[in-house]
Every structure is written in C-alpha cells, then in structure tokens.
C-alpha cells in the first residue's frame, strides 16, 4: 500500500511539473497607456516587453516564459488599484510601476493588504521610477522594491555638481503639485542651503500634474525673477511643454532636471537652442556607457525605435530572473528573500546593490548635459542631432543616504 502511494505521488509530480513549467511568469505592467502620461507609459511597456523577450530567448525563468500583462492606470491612484486587482485575478504575482509617486504609495498599501488577506498567493511590487523618498522610509514595505534612486539621492548628486558651478546665483524651482514635486522642492532648498548658501531661491512654483497645456505664464514668472538656473522634477508632457514655452519666450537659463531625457524632452531642449545648458541626473549615459551596454542599446533602439530611458528596468528584470533561479521558485516570498542584499553588475557598468533594510537599490549616478554631439558620440536623441555628454559621476557607495524604514517582515 505504501509502495502504491509513493508511485501515485511520483506520477502526480511528473504530471504537475510540466504543467507548472507551461504556465508563464506574469509581470503586470501598471502605468499610463492613455491620457497625459501615455507617451512615457508606452515606452516603458516596450522596454519591459523587450526584456521579457530577451529572457524568453534564453529559456525563460526556471523554464517558465515571461509574459508582460499591460494594465492602463491613466496615472490615477484609484484606477491603479482596480488594475492591481485585475492582475491578481489573472494570477499575476509580480507587478511593476513607475510613473507617479502617488500611484506608488497607493500600490504599496494595496499590495501589503492583499498579501495579508491572501497567504500563499502573495504579490511583489517592483518600482522602477517612482522616487518619493517616503516609499523606502516611513512607508517602506517588505513587498516593495525600488530600482530607481529616490529623489533625495538624485538631488544630493545633482547639487554636489551644482556646488562646483560658480555662475549659479539665482535659482527658480518649478515642480508638479504632488508628493514627488514637493519632495524635489524641499530637498533642493535644504541641500543648496548646505552646499551653496550664497545661491538665492527666487521662485518656488507648483502646477497641476499632467493638466497644463500652456506653460507660458510660468515661464514669464521665471524670466521676471531674473533666475539664471531652474531646477525641475517635471516629467512627461509637463517637461516637454515647459521647455517648449521656454523656447518660445527665449528664456536664457540653465536647467537642472531629473527627466529631460524623457519622451519629447530632447526635442524640446533642441528647440531652446541651449546646447549643453540642460542637465539631467540618471543612472546611465548612452554615449559614455560600456561597449556591452552600447551594443545592447543599439539593438534595442533598432528594434523598438526609442531610447532606453530605463536602464534600471534592465537591472530589475535581470535581478528578478537571478532571484527566482537562486530560489528555484517564483513564489513572491522566496524571490523577495533572494532580492534582499543582492549585488549585481548594473547595465551601464559598476556594481549596484539592493539594501535589505528598506529595499532601495543603489547604483552609480551620472550628470550629463544635452547638446551638440562630440566627435565619435554614438547616440543622438529623437533625431535632433544632439546627444548626452557625461559631465559628472557619483559612485554607488557615495549615493547611500540613511533610512528611517522600520520594516515589518512576514
């Protein structure tokens, strides 16, 4: 009787294992595919689909094919929760999102509550671009992992560079009116006061998120203030339209940004005529990347017709695959345990690591300027003939800031 039971169990295992391998590893992509953020959301979707195809060409993850499930949240927190539930209903155990820290905060809370109610069916939330520091501080969660540097880390690197620019005398702050925009403003004020107390803040403006179609009134205020430089965390159409209005008004100022390289940004910068006067803080610069990264990006651009805006998405997907392979499982808790403290060689070169205490990823950061290409530069942007030039770099270990996270672990 015992022998029969063992044979039956082995037979059941042989039947189940291929069935599990046949099921895809689903990653729910919850970002705007319509509305004001659609252009940047569509690029993110292309990026993750390309990365899934790359993993699948190598045999998938633990023999499972990776499937990206697109879920349009219209950059709306409440809609995002509806899409998260749809993902759960489809058997999705990993979701990723990046556009909007208000969305990220809502998803972090939802995933934690969902996991409490559904033991054995836990989900992980992979954040590739929502950078409000609170997400890995007071609102940190075991189920949330962030691959982008938070806005405090980015501002620390950016202001360290700005400290060395003596021509900066008067700065105007303009940001989107939500948690991330307020964080950019607050942190910029604090860090500039510490590093360059001689700089005068001549304006601190907030505007509705993805609703303004004409930024000329804001540009008029910047011109009237006498600012020689502007700091903005604007992204998507809010950056492109802001720069378009600056070009129309002939504003002569330097711009220190988080997302000038986003969709439409390079075209808007070219329209201003301000060669190498618009700066961006990123985790990679295509024209200064390693040969391997440049070859990968060339193939990506040729196939998808867009720039790799998210090197961190490459890191995210490679780390997901590594964690699942090491765990020999795609169970959310097993993958989370492997991700904590994981070190990898990041896409653009150098080592990055996922801090276990708060699930914040640290990596080298770079400051670049956009303008007329240097001889031999490989990549221009959006057909402008202009490209990004490396002007400053910060090692991963020098980007580490303390955390207030007090994580509850399952």
| SS3 (DSSP) at 184 | helix
Give percent of the chain with pLDDT exceeding 90.
Answer: 93
Please enumerate in sequence order all residues whose Cβ is within 8 A of that of 296, keeping only pairs 6 or more positions apart, or say none: 308, 314, 347
Instruction: List strands edge to edge, sheet with 361-362.
Output: 343-345, 351-354, 361-362
Query: Cβ(396)–Cβ(353) under 8 Å?
Result: yes
Q: Count the Cβ atoms, other than its own, within 10 Å of residue 14.
A: 9
147: pLDDT strictly greater than 60: yes
Strand order across the beta sheet in which 278-282 lies: 200-207, 170-176, 229-232, 254-257, 278-282, 365-372, 386-394
pLDDT at 15: 42
Per-residue pLDDT at 67: 98
Question: In angstroms, rounded to a whole number, what is the distance separating the alpha carbons of residues 258 and 376?
Answer: 26
Nearest to 240 by CA among 222, 217, 257: 257
Checking if the pLDDT of 11 tops 80, the result is no
- pLDDT interval class at 285 (50, 70, 90): very high
pLDDT in tens, 96-117: 999 999 999 999 999 999 999 9
Q: Is 369 helix (H, G, I), strand (E, B) or coil?
A: strand
DSSP state letter for 99: S
Residue 334 above 60 pLDDT? yes
Q: What is the average per-residue pLDDT within 73-85?
A: 97
- For residue 20, the model assigns a pLDDT of 53
Question: Is 6's pLDDT higher than 90?
Answer: no
Q: What pLDDT band is residue 9 in, cutting at 50, 70 and 90?
A: very low
Cβ neighbours for 79, distance < 8 A, ≥ 6 positions apart: 72, 73
Residues 254-266: tens digit of each pLDDT = 999 999 999 899 9
Mean pLDDT of 212-229: 98
- 282-291 mean pLDDT: 96
Helix (H) / strand (E) containing 25:
strand 25-31
Residue range(s) occupied by CATH 3.40.50.2300 in the chain: 2-149+291-362, 152-282
Can you give the pLDDT at residue 7? 41
Rounded alpha-carbon distances, angstroms, from residue 215 to 136, 208, 242, 370: 33, 11, 5, 22
| pLDDT range class, residue 21, cuts 50, 70, 90 | low
Is 152-282 in CATH node 1.10.3720.10?
no
pLDDT score for 183? 93
CATH architecture of 2-149+291-362: 3-Layer(aba) Sandwich (3.40)
Whole-number Cα distances in Å, 248 to 13, 23, 127 = 68, 53, 36
Q: Which of 305, 306, 308 is nearest to 316 (CA)?
A: 308
Rounded to an integer, the average pLDDT of 211-238 is 97
């Amino acid at each position: 009787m015992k022998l029969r039971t063992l044979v039956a169990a082995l037979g059941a295992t042989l039947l189940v294992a291929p069935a599990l391998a046949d099921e895809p590893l689903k990653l729910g992509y919850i970002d705007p595919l319509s509305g004001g953020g659609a252009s940047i959301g569509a690029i993110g979707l292309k990026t993750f689909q390309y990365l899934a195809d790359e993993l699948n060409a190598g045999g998938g993850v633990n023999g499972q094919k990776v499937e990206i499930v697109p879920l349009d949240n219209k950059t709306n927190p409440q809609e995002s929760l509806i899409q998260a539930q749809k993902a759960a209903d489809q058997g999705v155990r990993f979701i990723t999102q990046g556009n909007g820290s208000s969305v990220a905060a809502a998803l972090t809370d939802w995933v934690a509550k969902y996991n409490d109610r559904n033991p054995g069916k836990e989900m992980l939330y992979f954040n590739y671009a929502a950078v409000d520091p609170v997400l890995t501080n007071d609102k940190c969660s075991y189920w949330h992992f962030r691959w982008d540097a938070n806005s405090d880390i980015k501002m620390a690197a950016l202001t360290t560079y700005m400290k060395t620019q003596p021509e900066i005398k008067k700065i105007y702050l303009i940001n989107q009116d939500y948690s991330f925009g307020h964080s950019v403003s607050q942190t910029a004020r604090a860090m500039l006061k510490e590093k360059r107390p001689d700089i005068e803040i001549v304006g601190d403006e907030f505007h509705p998120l993805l609703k303004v179609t004409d930024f000329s009134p804001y540009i008029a205020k910047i011109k009237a203030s006498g600012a020689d430089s502007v700091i903005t965390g604007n992204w998507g159409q809010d950056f492109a339209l802001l720069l378009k209005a600056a070009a129309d008004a002939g504003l002569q100022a330097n711009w220190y940004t988080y997302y000038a390289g986003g969709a439409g940004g390079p075209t808007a910068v070219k329209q201003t005529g301000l060669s190498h006067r618009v700066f961006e803080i990123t985790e990679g610069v295509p024209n200064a990347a390693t040969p391997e990264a440049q070859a990968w990006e060339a193939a990506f651009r040729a196939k998808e017709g867009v720039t790799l805006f998210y090197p961190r998405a490459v890191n995210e997907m490679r780390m997901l695959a590594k964690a699942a392979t090491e765990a020999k499982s795609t169970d959310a808790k097993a993958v989370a345990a492997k991700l904590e403290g994981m070190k990898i060689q990041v896409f653009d070169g150098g080592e990055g690591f996922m801090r276990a205490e708060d699930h914040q990823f640290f990596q080298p950061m770079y400051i670049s300027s956009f303008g007329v290409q240097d001889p031999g530069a490989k990549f221009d942007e959006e057909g402008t003939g202009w490209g990004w030039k490396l002007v400053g770099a910060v090692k991963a270990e020098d980007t580490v800031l303390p955390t207030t996270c007090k994580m509850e672990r399952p």
